[in-house]
A = this chain, B = another copy of it.
């Protein structure tokens, strides 16, 4: 029933640090990316190419890309909302790019200032340029299990946005529970509905742990046949809608789940715990990973 192998997309350096209050130096970001790859992560979201006015934390993404060591076979991804961002990402050496839409009309309007349909139109030139250069494009859909403005989101609406992104040329659609409000039953129903139009092999799960449900939701999605999950070392990122609450599910906690289920990831959990401790030291706050805290407590005999 469960997959033999799962691919982890490590989003800490981008989705994580973008939502941290503390600023992180370029050399710390470079060390973070290099250490994550050394721990076995084969897909790392390194940065984004958006206006520094909107996301000042990512203004140094080109510098980070230029300083990281490149390991063969590893995907170094960048978020690129438009053609200008795409060109900058490619120039910086991104091996893959990602575009970002919402399943909620209100969230789309308030977060990226346009309708869902308009946001998809804006990606078209990015996807065309990427196709021309043979660059893979990953699609994010946010608010798949709830929206801060609309509450519940119909699964068919998520399905339609995900399907449109697949048809535009995205090779994989990452379904994001941006608020972390979902529970396993809703997650499974969502996958079943979205899979009517987007085959499971093209879907990824992106869960936030705001209400402590992320690991359970990932287990639910594994039972539904998903084999790719996004996570953030040390739970980097917090929750932009509730400062102090948990945000992205921690890579450590996801690895603990997967390895416990006998699912291979190719990633060394103990090394990721160390990487998380280093970056949290730089940020001056405690890790959100329960596995990392248990390791830090150290007295836990295994």
Contact = CB atoms under 8 A, between A and B. Distances in A.
A149 B301 contact: yes
A80 interface: no
Interface stretch (A22-30, A84-92, A257-265): A257-265
A216 interface: yes
A119 interface: no
Given A183-B261, A220-B219, A245 B297 contact: yes
A136 to B, nearest CB: 31
Given A184-B257, A241-B300, A242-B298, 6 more contacts: A151-B302, A180-B294, A183-B261, A219-B220, A244-B297, A246-B293
Interface of A: 2, 146, 148-149, 151, 179-186, 209-213, 215-216, 218-220, 239, 241-246, 250, 253, 256-257, 260-262, 289-291, 293-294, 296-302
A11 to B, nearest CB: 18
Copies in the complex: 2
Chain A facing B: main interface SS: loop
A293 to B, nearest CB: 5
Contact of A246 (B149, B216, B246, B294): B294
Nearest to A244: B297
19 contacts: A151-B302, A181-B302, A183-B256, A184-B257, A185-B262, A210-B290, A210-B300, A211-B253, A216-B216, A219-B219, A239-B294, A239-B297, A241-B299, A241-B300, A242-B299, A244-B293, A245-B290, A246-B293, A246-B294
